[in-house]
C-alpha cells in the first residue's frame, strides 16, 4: 500500500487514493514476527490452497469490479494472495522497460525512453502520424465514393465501417513506423518475428557509414545508446539478457503499449459521443468554428480546441485501464498502521478513484464540461499531477509514452469527427460492455455508418 506524502493536506484525495490500494502479498520467511509489530491489511475470505484468491479474479465480472467490491466490504486496503510465494519471471520479460525492477538497468532504460519520447523528439516524428491519419481518413472518403459509383442519387444504400479495425490499422501503422521506420499492418503472432527481422535490418544498416540527413528511428537510437553504455564486461549490467533482446523487447513494448492505448481510447471516445448527440454536436461546432471546412485539423490547432481535450480527459476517466500495472516495495515499511513487507505487489484500482462520488459529481456520467472553465475539475490534468485522475499512472514509473499517445489520439479524433459524419446503424445506443480482463477493450464491435462532412477534394480522392 502506498499513500502520497501530500495526501494529508488534501483529505478528499487521501480518501480517494487510499480507498483503492490493493496489496498483492507473496508470503515469505519471517513475516509472522514482523506482523506482531504492525497489523496486516485485512485478508478477504475465499482464498483456496495453492491458488489463493486467484479464482475470485477469473469470474465473469471484470477484475476491477471484484476488487472494488472487496474494498467496499473489507476497507480501503486489502491483502490478497495469488499463488504461494512469488512469481517466476523470464529474462525477456524483465528486459522490457515496464516490467524491469528498479535499479541501474531500469534507470538507464528510462533515460533512453524518456529522451526519445521528449517533446522535442516527438516534434521530429510528428509528420508520421500526421501522414498516416490523413491517409486513413482519405481511405474512408474513397470507400464512401466507391460505394456510390454506378448508383442513382435516389439509392440510399449505406456504408458500414468496422471502426475498431480501422483504429487498429491506423494505430499500428503509426507506431510501427515511428519505432522501426517501417509501415506494416500485421497481427500479433507475426509481430515478434517481424521485430526480429527489423532488428537485423537495422544492424546491417548501422554497419555501413551513416547517410547525411538519414532519419533515425527509436530502434536506431536504442542500438546506438546500448553500444555506448556497456560496462567493462561489454554488457548493459544485465547478465541474463543481451543487447538484441533489450532493443527488441523495448521496441515491442512501445509499439504494443501505445497501440493498445490508442485503439481503446478512440473506440470509447467515439462510442461516448455517439451515445450523446448533444456532446457530438458541440464538438463538431467547435471544429467548424475554429477550423472551418476548407482545411484539415493540424497538430497546432489542438491547443485551441478545449472541448476536444475535455472529451479525452473524460474518456480516460471513465474508460482508462482500470488497474494500473503492479508495483513492488523495495523494503519493509509501515504505512497508515499496516505492515508492508519488502516484495509486496501493489495494484491501484484506478477505476474506483475515477468514479469515486466523493471526488466526482455524477461520476458515471459522460460530462466533458467538468474539465472546462467553470467546471469543478477545470485544473485537473492527466499527467500524474492530480491523484483524482491517474489514467497514465504517476511518479517516476508513470507511462512515458502518454505524451505520444495523447497527441496521436487528439489529432485522430479531431480529424475523424471533422471529416466524416458517423452514426449507428440502429436506433439503439452503442453497447458499452467491456471485455473481461485487466484491460478495458470494448467487448462488442463498433460498426458505424459514414458519410463525408468535408469535401473529398481535401484528401485528393480519385
Looking at the structure, do residues 79 and 111 belong to the same domain, yes or no? no
CATH number for position 167: 1.10.630.10
Mean pLDDT for 334-359 is 81
Place of cell 476488487: 67
pLDDT in tens, 126-172: 898 999 999 999 999 998 888 877 665 555 556 889 999 999 889 88
Mean pLDDT for 273-302 is 96
Question: ∠ CA 206-210-214 to the nearest 5 degrees?
Answer: 105
Kindly tell me if the per-residue pLDDT of 56 is higher than 80: no
Residue 12: partners with Cβ closer than 8 Å, 6 or more residues away? 358, 359
Looking at the structure, do residues 54 and 113 belong to the same domain, yes or no? no
Alpha-carbon torsion angle 347, 350, 355, 359, nearest 10: 100
Name the pLDDT band for 446 (thresholds 50, 70, 90). Answer: very high
Last-in-domain residue among 338, 354, 370: 354
Looking at the structure, do residues 177 and 202 belong to the same domain, yes or no? yes
Looking at the structure, do residues 327 and 436 belong to the same domain, yes or no? no
Kindly tell me if the per-residue pLDDT of 2 is higher than 90: no
- Pick the range with the lowest mean pLDDT from 24-38, 208-222, 237-251, 359-373: 24-38
Looking at the structure, do residues 295 and 349 belong to the same domain, yes or no? no
Looking at the structure, do residues 277 and 389 belong to the same domain, yes or no? yes
Residue-averaged pLDDT of the chain: 74
- Pick the range with the lowest mean pLDDT from 20-24, 198-202, 314-318: 20-24
To the question of whether residue 392 is assigned a binding role by annotation, the answer is no
Kindly tell me if the per-residue pLDDT of 347 is higher than 80: no
pLDDT at 15 (0 to 100):
35
Looking at the structure, do residues 62 and 7 belong to the same domain, yes or no? yes
Looking at the structure, do residues 60 and 191 belong to the same domain, yes or no? no
Number of folded domains that form the chain? 2
Looking at the structure, do residues 205 and 265 belong to the same domain, yes or no? yes
Mean pLDDT for 270-277 is 97
3-state SS of the chain is CCCCCCHHHCHHHHHHHHHCEEEECCCCCCHHHHHCCCECCCCCCCCECCCECHHHHCCCCCHHHHHHHHHHHHCCEEEECECCCCCCCCHHHHHCCCCCCCCHHHHHHHHHHHHHCCHHHHHHHHHHHHHHHHHHHHHHHHHHHHHHCCCCCCCCCCCEEEHHHHHHHHHHHHHHHHHHCCCCCCCHHHHHHHHHHHHHHHHHHHHCCCCCCCCCCHHHHHHHHHHHCCCCCCCCCCCCCCHHHHHHHHHHHHHHHHHHHHHHHHHHHHHHHHCCHHHHHHHHHHHHHHCCCCCCCCHHHHHHCHHHHHHHHHHHHHHCCCECCCEECCCCEEECCEEECCCCEEEEEHHHHHCCCCCCCCCCCCCHHHHCCCCCCCCCCCCCCCCCCCCCCCHHHCCCCHHHHHHHHHHHHHHHHHHEEEECCCCCCCCCCECCCCCCCECCCCEEEEEECCCHHHHCCC
Of all residues in the chain, the percent with pLDDT exceeding 70 is 62
* Residue among 61, 109, 27, 68 nearest 347 (CA): 68
Q: How far is 250 from 195, CA to CA, in rounded Å?
A: 11
Looking at the structure, do residues 329 and 316 belong to the same domain, yes or no? no
pLDDT at 100 (0 to 100):
63
Last-in-domain residue among 336, 354, 372: 354
Domain that holds residue 432: 90-321+355-459
Looking at the structure, do residues 381 and 440 belong to the same domain, yes or no? yes
Looking at the structure, do residues 245 and 373 belong to the same domain, yes or no? yes
Mean pLDDT for 45-58 is 69
Amino acid at each position: 500500500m502506498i499513500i502520497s506524502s501530500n495526501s494529508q493536506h488534501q483529505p478528499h484525495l487521501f480518501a480517494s487514493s487510499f480507498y483503492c490500494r490493493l496489496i498483492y502479498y507473496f508470503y515469505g520467511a519471517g513475516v509472522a514476527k514482523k506482523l506482531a509489530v504492525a497489523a496486516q491489511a485485512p485478508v478477504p475470505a475465499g482464498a483456496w490452497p495453492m491458488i489463493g484468491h486467484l479464482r475470485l479474479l477469473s469470474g465473469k465480472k471484470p477484475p476491477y469490479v471484484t476488487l472494488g467490491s472487496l474494498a467496499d466490504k473489507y476497507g480501503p486496503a486489502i491483502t490478497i494472495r495469488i499463488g504461494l510465494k512469488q512469481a517466476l519471471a523470464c529474462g525477456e520479460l524483465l528486459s522490457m522497460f515496464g516490467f524491469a525492477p528498479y535499479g541501474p538497468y531500469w534507470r538507464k532504460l528510462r533515460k533512453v525512453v524518456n529522451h526519445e519520447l521528449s517533446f522535442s523528439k516527438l516534434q521530429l516524428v510528428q509528420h508520421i502520424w500526421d501522414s498516416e491519419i490523413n491517409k486513413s481518413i482519405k481511405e474512408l472518403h474513397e470507400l464512401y465514393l466507391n460505394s456510390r459509383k454506378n448508383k442513382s442519387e435516389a439509392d440510399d444504400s449505406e456504408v458500414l465501417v468496422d471502426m475498431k479495425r480501422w483504429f487498429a490499422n491506423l494505430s499500428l501503422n503509426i507506431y510501427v513506423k515511428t519505432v522501426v521506420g517501417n509501415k506494416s499492418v500485421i497481427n500479433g503472432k507475426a509481430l515478434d518475428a517481424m521485430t526480429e527481422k527489423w532488428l537485423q535490418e537495422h544492424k546491417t544498416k548501422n554497419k555501413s557509414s551513416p547517410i547525411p540527413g538519414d532519419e533515425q528511428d527509436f530502434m536506431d537510437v536504442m542500438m546506438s545508446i546500448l553500444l555506448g553504455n556497456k560496462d567493462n564486461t561489454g554488457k548493459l549490467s544485465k547478465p541474463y539478457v543481451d543487447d538484441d533482446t533489450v532493443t527488441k523487447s523495448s521496441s515491442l513494448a512501445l509499439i504494443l503499449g501505445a497501440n493498445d492505448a490508442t485503439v481503446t481510447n478512440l473506440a470509447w471516445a467515439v462510442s461516448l459521443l455517439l451515445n450523446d448527440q448533444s456532446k457530438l454536436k458541440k464538438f463538431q461546432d467547435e471544429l467548424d468554428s475554429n477550423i472551418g471546412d476548407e482545411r484539415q485539423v493540424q497538430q497546432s490547432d489542438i491547443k485551441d480546441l478545449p472541448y476536444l481535450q475535455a472529451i479525452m480527459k473524460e474518456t480516460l476517466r471513465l474508460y482508462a485501464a482500470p488497474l494500473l500495472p503492479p508495483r513492488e516495495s523495495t523494503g519493509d515499511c509501515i504505512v497508515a498502521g499496516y505492515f508492508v513487507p519488502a516484495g509486496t505487489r501493489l495494484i491501484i484500482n484506478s477505476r474506483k478513484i475515477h468514479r469515486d462520488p466523493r471526488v466526482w459529481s455524477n461520476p458515471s456520467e459522460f460530462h466533458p464540461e467538468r474539465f472546462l472553465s467553470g467546471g469543478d475539475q477545470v485544473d485537473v490534468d492527466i499527467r500524474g499531477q492530480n491523484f483524482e485522475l491517474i489514467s497514465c499512472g504517476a511518479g517516476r514509473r508513470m507511462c512515458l509514452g502518454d505524451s505520444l499517445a495523447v497527441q496521436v489520439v487528439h489529432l485522430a479524433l479531431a480529424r475523424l469527427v471533422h471529416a466524416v459524419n458517423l452514426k449507428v446503424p440502429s436506433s439503439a445506443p452503442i453497447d458499452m460492455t467491456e471485455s473481461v480482463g485487466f484491460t478495458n477493450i470494448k467487448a462488442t464491435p463498433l460498426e458505424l455508418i459514414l458519410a463525408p462532412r468535408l469535401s473529398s477534394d481535401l484528401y485528393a480522392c480519385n
